[in-house]
Structure 1
Amino acid sequence: MSLILFGHPFSSYTWKALIPLWANDTPFEFRSVEQHGPEFAALSPFGQFPLLVDGGQVIAESSIIIEHLDRHHPGSNRWIPDGDEGLQVRFLDRVFDSRVMDKATVPVGNALRPEDKRDPHGVEQAMVQLRRAYDWLEGRLGDDGWAVGERFTMADCAAAPALFYADWIERIGPDRPRLAAYRARLLAQPAVSRAVEQARPYRHYFPLGAPDRD
């Protein structure tokens, strides 16, 4: 049975799972949760996507999906190297998910709340933490290459949607040239570019207003 990925084209964590599938030309079927909601709900343990179905096995959480692909459906790209390099990939994967993407979603979620339930203080705290992550990444990244050396890894699969959407909310800006250049390299990578284009028709979903620059 072929792989089935449940998700949504505008979802950052769906992108994270789609990028390695496309980059390795791994055969799979994509099922949008908008068209396959009941089927997805019956399979998902927490009602969150993406969700990968591999035969009779259901795999949740984007990082675990990528690790599953690396182990059971390997291709030309190795997503998690062995040894200390693999530890760096896993660490940066957590940084991009927890310190960038999750902080950037705070103002988005706040905008979706009723006006009397909004939390501007919580939004500002999240933005302070996001700027801190930006500055740390600016000091860590090289002038070229990927997150961990010259190989495109799971860390870059996490970085691409995280930095794409985070920059919509809090501009990386000219004071962080390495991070801005890394984001540009990511968006030029073919699988990432495909994710950007596939999501383009859904930009009206973005409650803060999607910018025209990407």
Structure 2
Amino acid sequence: MSLKLYGHPFSSYCQKVLIALYENATPFEFRVLSPDHPEIAAEHAKLWPLKRFPVLADGDRTVLEASLIVEYLDQRYAGSSRLIPEDRDAALQVRTLDRFFDNYVMTPMQAVVFDAIRPADQRRPYIVTEAFDQLDVAYGWLEGELQGRKWAIGDDFGLADCAAAPSLFYADWVRPIGSEFPTVRAYRERLLSRPSFARAVNEARPYRSFFPLGAPDCD
């Protein structure tokens, strides 16, 4: 099998890539990184010494970073679900929302998680407060941006939705999306019902004990 994805099912950025793979039933081998398989970790480190994931190996070619991996799949392994429009203006809108979800939803969510991982005497409450404020602003902006849309930029599921799904999924665990954001809440529910993301969520379910803040019983 040509394509190998290195990562972990519980990783939000890995889920972003998994959604793209599942959308088009693209064959690949999932090389799951875990202490039980040091040989996979060694392969991964050889491909990318910084040891961040996800990493996609396509034969002799290595593709880094989730957004670029999704773009690569859309170019080289295009299926019935095109994740980036051919129209340049529409593609720019998709990439803009993709960066929004990564930078302004995923990043503050992870800041709260990383702070929870620290020893109790090294935690920084101001980081959590700032992250909560950022998420509230992001939810508010999305509430207006998503009005009248089924998916991130319209009727077609794409790269931005691949980013939105794990971002909003975990963000709601950290900073629940309040009732004042009904459009965002409804969008998150549609993402959860999308078969590609539902599969990624179910595959990650056995690892929920890893979540340092405690995973909710919902979802």
Q: Sort the TM-score into its range (normalised by shorter chain).
A: over 0.9
Q: Which runs of 4+ in 1 moved over 6 A?
A: none
Compute the displacement of 1:45 (Å): 4.0
- For residues 1-214 of structure 1, the aligned pairs below 5 Å read 1-34=1-34, 35=37, 36-81=40-85, 82-214=87-219
Separation (CA, whole Å) in 2 of partners of 1:138 and 1:126 = 18
Q: For this pair of structures, how many residues does the alignment match?
A: 214
Compute the displacement of 1:143 (Å): 4.1
Give 2:185's aligned amino acid. Answer: A
Compute the displacement of 1:112 (Å): 0.7
Separation (CA, whole Å) in 2 of partners of 1:15 and 1:45 = 22
Separation (CA, whole Å) in 2 of partners of 1:184 and 1:122 = 28
Compute the displacement of 1:144 (Å): 4.5
Separation (CA, whole Å) in 2 of partners of 1:184 and 1:2 = 34
Separation (CA, whole Å) in 1 of partners of 2:91 and 2:74 = 12
Q: Which runs of 5+ in 1 are unaligned?
A: none
Give 2:25's aligned amino acid. Answer: D
Separation (CA, whole Å) in 1 of partners of 2:89 and 2:116 = 40
Among the aligned pairs, what percent are the same residue?
54
After TM superposition, the structure 1 stretch with the greater mean CA deviation from structure 2, 95-104 or 32-41, is 32-41
For the residue of structure 2 that corresponds to 1:25, the secondary structure is coil
Separation (CA, whole Å) in 1 of partners of 2:148 and 2:184 = 9
Compute the displacement of 1:107 (Å): 1.2
Separation (CA, whole Å) in 1 of partners of 2:187 and 2:93 = 17
Compute the displacement of 1:46 (Å): 2.1
Compute the displacement of 1:85 (Å): 0.7
TM-score for both structures, normalised by structure 2: 0.95
Separation (CA, whole Å) in 2 of partners of 1:79 and 1:45 = 29
